[in-house]
Amino acid sequence: MASEKTTSKRYYHIIALVMLIFFVISFITNILNSIIVDVKNSFDLSLTLTGLLPFAFFIAYGVMSIPAGFLSEKYSDKTLLSWSFLFMALASMGFAFFPSYVVFSITLFALGSCMAVLQVIINPMLRVAGGEEHFAFNSVLAQLVFGLASFLSPFLYKYVVDTDSNEFGMAGYIRDLVPENLPWVGLYMIFSVIAVVLLAVVFLTRYPKYEKNEDEVAGDTSSYFSLLKNKWTVLFFLGIFCYVGTEQGVGNWISQFLYQYHGLDAQTVGADTVAYFWAMLTVGCLLGLLLLKIMDSRKLLIGATAITMVFLVLALTGSDKVALFAFPAIGFFISVMWSVIFSLALNSVKENHGSLSGILCTGIAGGAIIPFLVGALGEVSSLKIGMFFLLIPLAFVLSIGFWAKPLVNNKTIQLKNKPSN
């Protein structure tokens, strides 16, 4: 009886903390989509060097995801959360005071490393805080919070850099603290304050004791080597790699594309389009959850990916009005890819799900490699050609729907009753 009471107890303050952390992760991560043009112009960068910025951030996931799993077995949640937010505050403040391309690259890697640690910690926290029976619902809620933050971050960017309407308010004060020709750097001053506040919240919070499920345990090195010998592990790792690379490859280059090919202001129209991209991705998640209840996930993946490829071509070849519609539409249709690929992967391997999750999360490094390749191709040819490259990772994601053979299919609702004999 005691164990039943323990599992059913819910810690609402921990749920709130996890949601807040999800919000901050998304807010800081996806602000890069909005500021990319300003960064390029501020430091007079080529497309290749611009592409190295998301590389610096997302490669940290590839470096830190598996080590973060081992750290989570050795240290408490409170300790790792505290250190993560402390490093985030120091890295953000360091760049705000010493803004340069090299320092920014180092800052992005430091922030990405902290994000990787946070991602490993907060999912088990959410399970125990909300109860296992509510974990699916709370996970969806976390994704909505994540999407909301991605939608709102471009508006903070517009507020900080808008010198016309925010000359004497808080934005003006923030701009006074950074170089006059680099107003966007003030964002990282704000991020350092946010990190300090969260450090205080984490330090004052009381945490419940819990044991991790099998699929949340990092596992030993032998489990990783065993999984890497399995072809399904490698294929689904590539699937995550291609999805995140596509998501960031689109999101990071929207503003630059609209500015370069249609002459649209990156600080207004570009930022708004990035916000709509993330908003539609959030809405798409909700629709995807409903569709997964009535159709096979592989068929959903095939349909969503095929439509995404069509809208990508339209965004790159159409008029400015077509592009402004097509880019957010891409966000809507790619929204189901992460959850479908991840679930197919876990359902295709019998054991060592904790280690498998670590390997799959390492695939987030696709958000580093693919946007960089887009920029490099754009340097030797054109940005439009570089963005057409995204059709290749999308083609691989499309193929998953044909070759995936999960041991367990997603459960669907039968819309029609079978006739009785």
Which residues lie closer than 8 Å to 276 by C-beta, 6 or more apart? Answer: 151, 327, 328, 331
10-207 and 223-410: identical CATH topology:
yes
The DSSP result for 64-127, as a single string, is HHHHHHHHHHHS-HHHHHHHHHHHHHHHHHHHHHS--HHHHHHHHHHHHHHHHHHHHHHHHHHH
Over the stretch 136-160, which tens digit does the pLDDT of each residue have?
567 767 778 888 888 888 888 888 8
Contact status, residue 65 vs residue 116, Cβ threshold 8 Å: yes
**Whole-angstrom Cα distance, residue 193 to residue 70?**
29
Closest to 16 (Cα-Cα) out of 93, 121, 147, 122: 122
* pLDDT confidence bin for 75, thresholds 50/70/90: confident
Q: For residue 52, how far is the Cα from the chain centroid?
A: 17
pLDDT over 70 at 3, yes or no = no
pLDDT over 80 at 43, yes or no = yes
Q: In this predicted structure, what is the pLDDT of residue 2?
A: 40
Closest to 119 (Cα-Cα) out of 147, 90, 142: 142
pLDDT over 60 at 418, yes or no = no
Q: In this predicted structure, what is the pLDDT of residue 7?
A: 45
Give the residue with greater pLDDT, 392 vs 65: 392
Give the highest mean pLDDT range of 8-17, 38-47, 124-133.
Answer: 38-47
pLDDT over 80 at 409, yes or no = no
Q: In this predicted structure, what is the pLDDT of residue 385?
A: 95
State the amino acid at position 203 in one-letter form.
F
Q: In this predicted structure, what is the pLDDT of residue 155?
A: 87
Supply the CATH classification number for the domain 10-207.
Answer: 1.20.1250.20
State the CB neighbour count (10 A cutoff) for residue 102: 9
**Whole-angstrom Cα distance, residue 190 to residue 95?**
12
Supply the CATH classification number for the domain 223-410.
Answer: 1.20.1250.20
Q: Any idea what DSSP says for residue 215?
A: G
**Whole-angstrom Cα distance, residue 215 to residue 150?**
28
Q: Which of 53-62, 112-121, 337-346 has the lowest mean pLDDT?
A: 337-346
The helix, strand and coil proportions of the chain, stated in percent and rounded to the nearest 5, come to: 80, 0, 20
Q: In this predicted structure, what is the pLDDT of residue 6?
A: 43
Residue with tokens 């984490």: 202
Over the stretch 87-111, which tens digit does the pLDDT of each residue have?
999 999 999 999 999 999 999 999 9
Contact status, residue 7 vs residue 131, Cβ threshold 8 Å: yes
Q: In this predicted structure, what is the pLDDT of residue 36?
A: 87
The DSSP result for 23-49, as a single string, is HHHHHHHTHHHHHHHHHHHHTT--HHH
* pLDDT confidence bin for 232, thresholds 50/70/90: confident
Query: Would you list the domain boundaries of the chain?
Result: 10-207, 223-410
The total number of residues shown for the chain amounts to 421
Average pLDDT over residues 265-287: 87
pLDDT over 60 at 171, yes or no = yes
* pLDDT confidence bin for 113, thresholds 50/70/90: very high
Q: In this predicted structure, what is the pLDDT of residue 167?
A: 58
Q: In this predicted structure, what is the pLDDT of residue 4?
A: 41
